[in-house]
Amino acid sequence: MAIKRTHVTQRNGYSRMALIDSVRPYPDQIRFVLNRMNGSSFWAWSLWRAPEGANLLDSIPLSREYMQCAGTADALAVEVRHLDPDGTPHQYAVGKPGGDHSGEPTEVIHYDDGRHSVTVHPSEVFTADEAAVVFYTYFLTDKVSQPYTLRELDLTRPTPEPEGSD
């Protein structure tokens, strides 16, 4: 008997569970979940592969590699995080093909009742149905496939200037 690799999901940063297909097939389950995102009570969703042999009834482990989105079913920003072999993390905004990334991002996606937002390029705004295709491919392969694009994000935070310095 082959051991099935399990995926874990997280909603709004706190509610974790295994992704299951007992009610509907995985692609339909992913699409269903993403279409429920309203930017208020449900505004963020993550997907990652659980470690081999993880007992998801005992505890649900986090991962340093994942795909996530935030926003509403009409406008989602999708990101993916991968680690180099040496453990260095890289986080990317996922985009549709043909986008112009020569300037600064201009599309603001609000979430958590408008308390937070992310700014992306127009080609990096997904509907729930569009994002479901990207998430399902990630579910199958742990990668973002062609024709989608990746734009690396700079997640370093500027160090505040000490008071009184000029």
Q: Where are the alpha helices (DSSP H) in 3-127?
A: 26-35
Domain count, the chain: 1
What's the pTM value of the predicted model, to 2 decimals?
0.87
Residue 133 placed within a domain: yes
Residue 157 placed within a domain: no
pLDDT digits (tens, 9 = 90+) for 66-100: 999 999 999 999 999 999 999 999 999 999 998 88
Residue 161 placed within a domain: no
Q: Report the pLDDT value the prediction gives residue 53, as an integer from 0 to 100.
A: 72
Closest CA to 97 of 49, 166, 139, 147: 147
Residue 121 placed within a domain: yes
Residue 66 placed within a domain: yes
Q: Report the pLDDT value the prediction gives residue 34, as an integer from 0 to 100.
A: 96
Residue 142 placed within a domain: yes
